[in-house]
């Protein structure tokens, strides 16, 4: 690649959404990483308790939840692309699909919590369930904020006077953050041994 | 471009389904057993998935070099922190 081509490529590169959202994404990443590090350290020192408690979780439910949220991330990425290309109807459709998939995830999570409560597992049962309810609860809080963020995308896309591609990208970046945080939480709670 | 998103989604789903195989191969027909291989693989696969989400869904591959490096650095910090704390726990356990 020549120097001119490299410079041209650099000019075409862009930050998706507002840079402030990226600062938030990196901050959240470091915050959750710190929590996961403490969790893994404690887990490795008390493997039996964590394994016995982990046996109460259904791996396939976690896999299903993850695929639902990955699909929602895919649909919001398509929403961004459609809005960029001026296809606002398609973008709106994808935003609604994302919200629907987010709702499916939320319902699955509530059903799983109810199942755990019925088995007598609560926040105070042991260290594993303290981490389980704290991490999944905190993630659901992020998901609920995500619904507000999706509402902002719909509000933006509905009127030609309001449409801001930067805001759509910023909101989509938030939703992807909810997705990748779940990818990590799922691995920590359901898969690691 | 659309196909690229679909391929990324398919790879992410395949990696997620790979956890079922990992789980089955680790435990067979018995109960859950501690496994360093499974834990390391689970963390590495999760980080690969996070990088794909960053690059493809969050469009970091089109972003300025600084953002590409910052996201890669955050994944590297995650890898060192998570694997480091797990092995430290095993060593001190």
Two tokens at B62? 């089109």
State the complex-level ipTM.
Answer: 0.94
Nearest by Cα to B48 from B81, B71, B15, B26: B15
Q: Kindly determine whether residue A16 and residue B62, on different chains, have CB atoms separated by under 8 Å.
A: yes
pLDDT digits (tens, 9 = 90+) for A35-87: 999 999 999 999 999 999 999 999 999 999 999 999 999 999 999 999 999 99
Give yes or no for a contact between A123 and A188, defined as CB atoms under 8 angstroms apart. Answer: no
Q: Kindly determine whether residue A13 and residue B62, on different chains, have CB atoms separated by under 8 Å.
A: yes
Give the minimum alpha-carbon distance from B51 to chain A in angstroms, rounded to a whole number: 9
Q: Is pLDDT at B29 greater than 70 in this prediction? A: no
Question: How many A×B Cβ pairs under 8 Å?
Answer: 156
What average pLDDT does this structure show over A1-25?
74
What average pLDDT does this structure show over B59-68?
94
Domain count, chain A: 1
Strands (DSSP E) contained in A125-172 are none
Residue A2 lies in a domain: no
User: Among all residues of chain A, which has the CA nearest to that of B30?
Assistant: A55
What average pLDDT does this structure show over A110-115?
96
pLDDT digits (tens, 9 = 90+) for B66-91: 999 999 999 999 999 999 999 999 99
Residue A177 lies in a domain: yes
Q: Kindly determine whether residue A51 and residue B34, on different chains, have CB atoms separated by under 8 Å.
A: yes
Q: Is pLDDT at A1 greater than 50 in this prediction? A: no
Of the partner residues B6, B23, B62, the one whose CB lies closest to the CB of residue A59: B23
Which domain covers residue A53, as residue numbers?
A: 25-191
User: Among all residues of chain A, which has the CA nearest to that of B64?
Assistant: A13
DSSP state of B30: S
Residue A17 lies in a domain: no
Higher pLDDT, A10 or B61: B61
Residues in chain A within 8 Å Cβ distance of B42: 187, 191-193
Q: Kindly determine whether residue B82 and residue A37, on different chains, have CB atoms separated by under 8 Å.
A: yes
Domain count, chain B: 1
CATH number of the domain residue A141 falls in: 1.20.120.80
Give the minimum alpha-carbon distance from B69 to chain A in angstroms, rounded to a whole number: 12
To probe the interface with B, which of A187, A188, A189 has the most B CB atoms within 10 Å? A187
Residue A14 lies in a domain: no
Two tokens at A34? 């710190």
Which backbone phi and psi does B30 adopt, to 5 degrees? -85, -170
Which domain covers residue B45, as residue numbers?
A: 2-92
């Amino acid at each position: 690649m020549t120097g001119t081509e490299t410079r041209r490529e650099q000019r075409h590169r862009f930050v998706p959404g507002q840079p402030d959202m990226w600062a938030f994404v990196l901050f959240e990443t470091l915050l959750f990483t710190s929590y996961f590090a403490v969790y893994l350290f404690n887990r490795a020192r008390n493997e039996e308790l964590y394994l016995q408690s982990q046996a109460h979780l259904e791996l396939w439910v976690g896999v299903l939840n993850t695929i639902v949220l990955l699909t929602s991330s895919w649909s919001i990425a398509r929403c961004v692309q459609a809005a960029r290309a001026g296809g606002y109807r398609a973008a709106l459709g994808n935003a609604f699909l994302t919200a629907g998939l987010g709702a499916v995830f939320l319902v699955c999570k509530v059903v799983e919590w109810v199942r755990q409560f019925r088995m007598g597992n609560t926040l105070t049962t042991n260290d594993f369930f303290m981490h389980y309810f704290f991490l999944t609860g905190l993630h659901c809080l992020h998901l609920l904020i995500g619904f507000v963020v999706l509402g902002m995308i719909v509000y933006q896309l509905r009127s030609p006077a309001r449409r801001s591609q930067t805001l759509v990208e910023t909101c989509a970046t938030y939703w992807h953050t909810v997705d990748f945080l779940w990818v990590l939480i799922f691995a920590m709670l359901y898969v690691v041994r | 471009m659309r196909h690229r998103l679909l391929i990324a989604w398919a790879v992410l789903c395949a990696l997620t389904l790979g956890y079922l195989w990992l789980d089955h191969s680790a435990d067979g027909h018995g109960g859950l057993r501690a496994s360093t291989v499974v834990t390391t693989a689970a963390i590495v696969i999760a980080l690969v998935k996070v990088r794909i989400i960053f690059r493809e869904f969050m469009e970091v591959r089109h972003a300025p070099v600084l953002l590409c490096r910052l996201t890669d650095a955050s994944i590297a910090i995650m890898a060192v922190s998570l694997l480091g704390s797990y092995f430290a726990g095993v060593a001190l356990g």
